[in-house]
Structure 1
Amino acid sequence: MKAYPVILSLALLSASASASTPSDTYISQAAFQGWVTDNHLETQVQAFEAHLARNGVADVLPTYQILRTSSTWQACKASAFEIPPQEVWANITTTLSYIKTEVEPRIGKVQAVSGYRNAKLNTCSGGAEHSAHRYYFALDLLPETDISRATLIREMCLAHRENGQKSQIGLGFYSGVRFHLDSKKYRKWGADGKSATSPCNKI
């Protein structure tokens, strides 16, 4: 299946301003629906959602969130949303399953703010050549609950230590309460991308 990188119009951007959760600076469901309609992507989105349903993860996060691309999409002149190639769809299912069983039971609801990045966008975003985002293993997440960074780190590090290896979960932390999960390889890292600086080492 071919991906469809389409740049959103300013009119669609204005539709994202009403959120009351940490998603204020990200792209809304209304903008996503407009993007789908304008680009005639209904069939492709339905196929993607059917894949999620077959794998038992359709209820984890809204489709519009897990089809968000990079937080730097505007600076990179890319699309805020993209349907990944069908051959990588299977990669995100393990990540979503882990969110369902290990993340949300510990810290409550989360939202995805960054997922698949095509090669050009991944490079522009500063991603590694073989970034987990490049192959749709990864989601960057924000809690929707009022949780401290210390509590987030403690809960996610304990979950990773106890159950991350069997799902090959990668766990990284950015500033604030934004964090990264992928199911490409079992590992952990801190703000500089190195295992030695992971805050999990102090838990």
Structure 2
Amino acid sequence: MKTAPRRRWLALAMLGVALCACTSILPPASRHARWLDAGHRDAAEGYAAYLRSEGVGDIVPAAALARTARRWRLCGNREFDVPPPALQANMPPTLRLVARLRDAGIVDPQRARSVYRDPAMNTCAGGSARSKHLENRAIDFDLPKRGDNVERLCAFWREHGQALDMGLGFYTPTAIHIDTAGYRTWGEDHSWRTSLCTAG
């Protein structure tokens, strides 16, 4: 008698896993559309309108700009978010920097992987307590597959970074962080000594 409820529970659990798997294999644009339809459209459209008013609305695609963290699946499936209105004005300088890096052929805006993170998401994602993602000033990218990525990015940082308040961090040679919160660079241990622009 006790096995029937247990089988029912197991069947429901397996169905839940299957539904979760189906959702996670949808392309990002489809997942973003679902997220918008789940009650986030007004906030997302308000933020998009603000960015357009600043002339930076078309630099990073909306789905990529709403990404919270690379590890979103481990953090409650909160793949997308909209920064609160008080933080929205922090993003245009970073988007202008991204446009310059895009025009130089260094960064592909569609490959943005992490933008605004609230404190809970930042903690789950392993971010620093002083992370510029908390301020909506930072974007993490995966770099296109080019052998000279690091060399070109570091050359740009040395030439233009100080004037642009450019922060440049390297998680790996192809996973990077960009912000406009001060001229600095760092590497895997969060110090300038391990930055690929200063190491060696």
TM-score range, shorter chain: 0.7 to 0.9
In the other structure, the counterpart of 2:81 is: 82
Alpha-carbon distance in 1 for matches of 2:55, 2:79: 26
Moved more, 28-37 or 167-176: 167-176
Mark the CA change 1:55 to 1:173 in structure 2 (over 3 Å): closer, same or farther: same
> Which structure: greater helix fraction?
2
Alpha-carbon distance in 2 for matches of 1:54, 1:85: 17
Alignment of 1:123-138 (within 5 A): 123-138=123-138
- Counterpart secondary structure, 1:171: strand
Unaligned 5+ runs, structure 1: 1-8, 17-27
- Matching of residue 29 in structure 1 with residue 40 in structure 2: no
C-alpha RMSD of the superposition: 1.8
Matched residue type, 1:160: W
Q: Kindly state the Cα deviation for residue 12 of structure 1 after the two structures are TM-superposed.
A: 2.9
Matched residue type, 2:93: T
- Matching of residue 65 in structure 1 with residue 64 in structure 2: yes
Alpha-carbon distance in 1 for matches of 2:102, 2:158: 13
Mark the CA change 1:108 to 1:132 in structure 2 (over 3 Å): closer, same or farther: closer
- Matching of residue 13 in structure 1 with residue 24 in structure 2: yes
Q: Kindly state the Cα deviation for residue 97 of structure 1 after the two structures are TM-superposed.
A: 0.4
User: Identity over aligned residues, as a percent?
Assistant: 29
- Counterpart secondary structure, 1:199: coil
In the other structure, the counterpart of 1:98 is: 97
Of the two structures, which has the highest relative contact order with CA contacts closer than 8 Å and spacing of 6 or more?
Answer: 1
After TM superposition, the score normalised by the length of structure 2 is: 0.83
In the other structure, the counterpart of 2:12 is: none
Matched residue type, 1:180: H
> How many residue pairs align between the two structures?
180
Where in structure 1 do 4 or more consecutive aligned residues deviate above 3 Å? none
Q: Determine if contact 2:101/2:107 at 8 Å carries over to the other structure.
A: no
Matched residue type, 2:33: Q
Q: Kindly state the Cα deviation for residue 176 of structure 1 after the two structures are TM-superposed.
A: 4.1
After TM superposition, the score normalised by the length of structure 1 is: 0.82
Q: Kindly state the Cα deviation for residue 78 of structure 1 after the two structures are TM-superposed.
A: 4.5
Which has the higher Rg, Structure 1 or Structure 2?
2
Unaligned 5+ runs, structure 2: 1-18
Q: Kindly state the Cα deviation for residue 47 of structure 1 after the two structures are TM-superposed.
A: 1.0
